[in-house]
Chains A and B, each alone.
Chain A
Amino acid sequence: MNRWLAALLYALLCAVTFVVCFPLLWAISTSLKPKEEIFRWPPTLLPERFTFESYRELLFGGSAASAPGAGTPPSDFFLHWFANSIIVSVGSTVISITVATLAAYSLTRFRFFGQRAVPYVAIMGYMIPSVIFVFPMFLTLVELDLTDTLLGLTLGYVCITLPFCLWLMWAFFRGVPLEIEEAALVDGASRLQVFRQIVLPVALPGIIAASIFAFIVSWNDYLFGRVFMNSMELLPLTVGVMHFFDGTHVDWGLMMASSVLMTVPMAILFGFMQRHLVAGFGAGAVKG
């Protein structure tokens, strides 16, 4: 009976995994097909002839097939976009995490007016859809003369990731027993030493989780990039790849190859972080 249940569950999990993975597999398959095969009907599941044409075009540019008369083909900007996305995502993640960690620590350890309200206000701010404040924010950036700059976009992402990171780190620090810090103080450590040597290592899994969140949000964002950015060479990937759609026809080969390349940093990030996420959280500090 139990065996059957296990088998059923297993089958269900396989099905779910397949459904979740199918778009990615389809993207990989499409990106490896020659252009004439992409639109064939009935579609081929696997490419009949493998070609790295789309990838070559994205990574090394100079497509012979680019439309005559036009300027630089969009695919030539791919590496720019990729770099932009990395810079903006890493930048906003670093800023968000630094601010969130320090703020959350002080929220749990020092007493001041509004101490209890801040995390809840933050999480409520996070629940407001970004469409609502993207335009006010745009106008602010205009004032600051930061539109169409990577810095402006980075700050935009900080605005949407910081509240949640703050909340996450706050919840995390609340779980770090105060006594281990007091033990370190009695041992003779300074406040800064306590923070660096005792608190941060314990908080590492939380920091990693928050970083992954912040990175994913920034990396996948479309709205802010679309509204804030203008110059072709400053676009983030998500906005940039829309140029493979020229109003009448979509270059699915390039689109899919871009998507596949876009998932690479994510895959790497998760590969590295997963171990840390699971490892060494503060169990064992305390009796029991």
Chain B
Amino acid sequence: MTDVVISGLSKSFGSNRVLQSLDLRVPSRQFVTLLGPSGCGKTTLLRLIAGLEKSSQGEIRFGEKRVDTLAPGDRNIAMVFQSYALYPTMSVARNIGYGLEVRRIGKPERTARIGAVAKVLEILHLLARKPKALSGGQRQRVALGRAMVRKPDIFLMDEPLSNLDAKLRAAMRGELRRFHLDLGTTTIYVTHDQLEAMTMSDLVVVMNEGVVQQIGTPEEVYARPANLFVAGFIGTPPMNLVPARHEGGVLSVAGAKLPVAVPPGAPAELILGIRPQDLGVARPGDAGTIPGKVWMVELIGSERLIEMEVAPKLRLTAEVRARQRAAIDDAIAFRPDPAQIHLFDPATGASLTAAR
């Protein structure tokens, strides 16, 4: 039952401002993902919450309790490090039980709890081994076990899946989600993999350059990106972002008029965003389409990506069924789904359509 409330948190390393007045509320029992590009301050935020780093400003509360001044060991958190950080000289069993050992929990109870966790994680047969005799996936389970055995108030996980192969990663995603549903412990999970963020979380916190860009459910950040950064960062292939104009209530991209209602008060020059999945192929000349020339075609399994050149240096990508064929340099047109068009203010980057 612990929510994490962060207010006005800043962190600088020398003159490098890594986190800038960050506000964030992680509701109790939720699985919250910090998502952002490399170097945006995710690990730093996690380490601040863990107490491994001192903040320059602001405060962190767990529930009612202010924890900024507490040592990491007194916060009752468990952390899974990006590198796992297993104790190399200790057996797997002792690795898992070390937190209990230093908290003076008796041997019988310790053994029982280690056994219980190892059973859940299916690492019972590995308990006597040293970390170096484990595979990456096994090490990761041990790191998880070390966190779980403590029954902490909060789990902090720093890209725990980043070094696993694709298949194992997919399997572990499901397992981690399952653990969370079973244990119901508040979890803050760092990743730069949007697939992980989308599939696992209750809430996604999108960060860039130490600033929170958007907080929302996976559906929200995907369907209603709050600004250009979120729009460009979430979704594969990335959203098409192209300059657009509107005059007299009519929106046009490179001269092609589109049937889109522009919110009142929008500037004349806009940025239009449309996901490749929301573009369909049409005949050139149809109303409400953007004409151009096929620039590149790529088959990605059941889908095909068609890249169209509208004007020099202005290209749009559509993701269509693989049976849709297109030849390079053919004339073509894309029809955007009007309901799925996003408009952004080029000056601030803020979305003009996210509120609708």
Q: Interface on A for B, CB 8 Å cutoff?
A: 177, 179-180, 182-190, 193, 197-198, 201-202, 204, 280-288
Contacts and interface: CB of A to CB of B under 8 A. Distances in A.
A179 B72 contact: no
Contacts of A180: 85-88
B98 interface: yes
Given A286-B85, A287-B136, 19 more contacts: A177-B85, A179-B83, A180-B87, A182-B52, A185-B72, A185-B73, A186-B50, A186-B78, A186-B79, A187-B78, A187-B98, A187-B146, A198-B87, A202-B88, A283-B88, A284-B132, A285-B83, A287-B163, A288-B163
**Which of A183, A197, A283 has its CB near the most chain B CB atoms (within 10 A)?**
A183
A1 to B, nearest CB: 37
Contacts of A184: 87, 98, 102
B99 interface: yes
Contact of A202 (B74, B84, B89): B89
**Which of B88, B103, B136 has its CB near the most chain A CB atoms (within 10 A)?**
B88
A129 B60 CA distance: 56
Contacts of B102: 184, 187-190, 193
B81 A179 contact: yes
Contacts of B52: 182, 185-186
A281 B98 CA distance: 20
A201 B146 CA distance: 19
A282 B88 contact: yes
Contacts of A288: 136, 163
Given A280-B130, A287-B163, A186 B77 contact: yes
Contacts, number: 98
Interface of B: 50-52, 71-74, 77-79, 81-90, 98-99, 102-103, 130-134, 136, 139, 146, 150, 163
Contacts of B85: 177, 179-180, 182-183, 285-286
B73 A285 contact: no
A183 B132 CA distance: 17
A96 B74 CA distance: 36
Contacts of A197: 98
Nearest to B47: A182
13 contacts: A182-B52, A182-B79, A182-B85, A183-B85, A186-B51, A188-B99, A188-B102, A190-B102, A202-B88, A284-B88, A285-B83, A287-B139, A288-B163
Given A280-B130, A284-B132, A284-B133, A182 B81 contact: yes
A283 B78 contact: no
**Which of B72, B74, B77, B134 has its CB near the most chain A CB atoms (within 10 A)?**
B72
B88 A186 contact: no
A41 to B, nearest CB: 58
